[in-house]
């Protein structure tokens, strides 16, 4: 057995904790998880059944922890996990799963299949089995600070642009500010209007904030590829910057998995609690709204709907806040079918968008989002994740759909009560 396969198997076995062993023990092979998975429903291919994505790990569990499994293994009658099998499973674990979480809600016996896929990825990475695109993104994230190659120079250029546009100063490296805003590479590169938007909102709401030159990137390829070590490395930069600037809060950006990484996995990755609190930008905006500090004085009459980013809503718990904000500025806001915790994935999360091999499949399964949009018949699609945004734009264009896409923070900023400085874009 090769060293890398051995490493992978050892890692997979180490992932089996009480929950994982319980889930494998409890699965009754009903196949209902398939019904909840975008990749199954839009292709009808049984191999995309969520629990099936875990088959190598299941056999390892069986051979290590069950009576018959151990017996058969001793008798030399069990089927070992091989490198070839892990190669075969790589597209199942990485291309046809975005860690969206729907399967975990659907399983009648309560299996948290998403939790298991996340752990399976640890073993895949340890054995060298991960998509090339994701490996490249992770390498860039570790070496350059961003999977997209966005660096401080890029950020500073965008800051300069934002300052010109708003007539306001964008604070950078301000010690003892209350909030440290984190961004995502995709925002800095493709949707830089977020910087102007938060600058104007925070000015109006009188929020003490700053960006950090050494901790402005929230995306975490380590989480996506499934390497806790790399994830901790990447996350550590944000923690270090926040501690250096002595802030009270770190704001997680309009990015899905950045919230999962920062808010829920982070302290476990670095092995200690944070000396600051984490708040999602949409959580903060809703707090400002409900305390009267966020003032808007115009509305957008367009019929619009909201796409729930999986990691923010179903996996993150920020469910009502985007709706509260939308109700303030959008009188014709309507919910799409299955809105909220049951909403369907855009198809590009969990590392899928960085995986070129997965592109065809991702585009195919957009059919689900398409049918939701056709049912709700909205002209504008609002969301709070820059990756979702790109995936949605992609899908809408390829399907020739006449729907525009906007970020929620940007939408709110568009309707801020005008003050002396700054202007609505």
Partner 1 sequence: MDQELLLWVRGTGLQIATAVFVLGMSYRVLHLLLLGRKPSLAVARGSEWAGGLRTMWQRSFMLPSLSGRGLFTVIAGYVFHVGFLITLFFLSQHIDLFRAVFGFGWPALPRGVIDVAAVLAIGAMVALLVHRFIDPVKRLLSGFEDFLTWTLSFLPLLTGFMLLRNIGFEYLTLLTLHIASVELLMVVAPFTKLAHMFTTFMARWYNGAVNGFKGINA
| Interface ranges with partner 1 (CB under 8 A) | 16-19, 21-23, 25-32, 34-36, 40, 46-47, 49, 51-52, 65-68, 104-112, 115, 263-268, 271-274, 277-278, 314-317, 319, 338, 341-342
Query: Hey, how many other C-beta atoms are within 10 angstroms of the C-beta on 294?
Result: 23
> What is the smallest separation between the CB atom of 334 and partner 1, expressed in angstroms?
18
Looking at the Cβ atoms of 264 and 363, the one nearer to partner 1 is: 264
Query: Hey, how many other C-beta atoms are within 10 angstroms of the C-beta on 320?
Result: 11
Q: Round to whole Å and give the CA distance between 254 and 408.
A: 9
Q: Round to whole Å and give the CA distance between 209 and 246.
A: 11
CA dihedral (305, 308, 312, 314) in degrees, to 10, reads 140
Looking at the Cβ atoms of 167 and 275, the one nearer to partner 1 is: 275
Query: Hey, how many other C-beta atoms are within 10 angstroms of the C-beta on 152?
Result: 15
Looking at the Cβ atoms of 105 and 334, the one nearer to partner 1 is: 105
> What is the smallest separation between the CB atom of 286 and partner 1, expressed in angstroms?
14
Looking at the Cβ atoms of 30 and 299, the one nearer to partner 1 is: 30
Q: Which helix (H) or strand (E) holds 155?
A: helix 152-166
Q: How far is CA 419 from CA 110, 195, 197, 248, 301, in A?
A: 52, 18, 14, 27, 23
Instruction: List the structure tokens of 205.
Output: 């709401």
Looking at the Cβ atoms of 49 and 387, the one nearer to partner 1 is: 49
Task: Determine contact, residues 197/209, Cβ cutoff 8 Å.
Answer: no
> What is the smallest separation between the CB atom of 31 and partner 1, expressed in angstroms?
4
Looking at the Cβ atoms of 180 and 186, the one nearer to partner 1 is: 180
> What is the smallest separation between the CB atom of 406 and partner 1, expressed in angstroms?
26
> What is the smallest separation between the CB atom of 313 and partner 1, expressed in angstroms?
9
Q: How many CA atoms lie within 13 A of 64 on its CB side?
A: 19
> What is the smallest separation between the CB atom of 30 and partner 1, expressed in angstroms?
6
Residue written as tokens 């949605």? 392
Looking at the Cβ atoms of 264 and 404, the one nearer to partner 1 is: 264
> What is the smallest separation between the CB atom of 277 and partner 1, expressed in angstroms?
7
Query: Hey, how many other C-beta atoms are within 10 angstroms of the C-beta on 319?
Result: 15
Q: Which ranges in 205-353 belong to alpha helices (H)?
A: 221-225, 228-245, 256-259, 266-270, 281-290, 321-329
396 beta partners: none
Looking at the Cβ atoms of 274 and 414, the one nearer to partner 1 is: 274
> What is the smallest separation between the CB atom of 17 and partner 1, expressed in angstroms?
5
Lateral strand order in the sheet of 404-407: 304-307, 380-383, 404-407
């Amino acid at each position: 057995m090769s060293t890398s396969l051995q490493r992978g198997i050892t890692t997979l076995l180490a992932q089996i904790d009480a929950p994982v062993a319980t889930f494998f023990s409890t699965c009754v092979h009903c196949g209902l998880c398939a019904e909840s998975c975008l990749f199954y429903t839009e292709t009808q291919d049984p191999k995309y059944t969520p629990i099936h994505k875990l088959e190598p790990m299941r056999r390892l569990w069986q051979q290590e922890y069950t009576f018959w499994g151990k017996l058969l293994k001793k008798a030399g009658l069990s089927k070992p996990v091989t490198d070839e099998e892990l190669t075969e499973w790589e597209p199942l674990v990485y291309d046809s799963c975005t860690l969206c979480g729907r399967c975990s809600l659907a399983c009648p016996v309560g299996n948290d299949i998403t939790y298991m896929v996340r752990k399976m990825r640890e073993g895949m990475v340890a054995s060298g089995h991960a998509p090339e695109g994701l490996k490249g993104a992770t390498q860039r994230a570790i070496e350059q600070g961003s999977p997209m190659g966005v660096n401080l120079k890029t950020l500073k250029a965008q800051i300069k642009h934002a300052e010109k546009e708003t007539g306001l100063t964008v604070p950078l490296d301000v010690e003892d500010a209350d909030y440290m805003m984190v961004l995502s590479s995709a925002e800095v590169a493709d949707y830089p209007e977020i910087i102007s938007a938060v600058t104007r909102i925070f000015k109006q709401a009188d929020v003490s904030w700053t960006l950090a030159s050494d901790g402005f990137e929230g995306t975490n390829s380590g989480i996506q590829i499934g390497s806790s070590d790399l994830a901790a490395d990447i996350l550590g930069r944000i923690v270090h910057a926040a501690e250096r600037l002595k802030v009270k809060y770190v704001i997680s950006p309009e990015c899905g998995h950045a919230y999962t990484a920062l808010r829920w996995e982070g302290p476990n990755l670095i092995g200690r609690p944070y000396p600051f609190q984490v708040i999602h930008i949409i959580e903060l905006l809703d707090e400002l709204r409900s305390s009267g500090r966020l003032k808007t004085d115009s509305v957008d009459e367009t019929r619009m709907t909201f796409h729930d980013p999986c990691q923010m809503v179903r996996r993150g718990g920020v469910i009502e806040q985007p709706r509260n904000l939308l109700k303030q500025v959008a009188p014709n806001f309507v919910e799409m079918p299955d809105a909220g915790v049951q909403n369907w994935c855009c198809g590009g999360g969990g590392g899928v968008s960085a995986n070129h091999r997965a592109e065809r499949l991702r585009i195919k399964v957009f059919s689900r989002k398409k049918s939701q949009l056709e049912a709700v018949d909205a002209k504008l699609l609002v969301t709070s994740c820059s990756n979702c945004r790109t995936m949605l734009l992609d899908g809408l264009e390829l399907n020739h759909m006449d729907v525009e896409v906007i970020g929620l923070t940007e939408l709110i900023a568009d309707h801020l009560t005008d003050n002396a400085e700054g202007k609505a874009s």
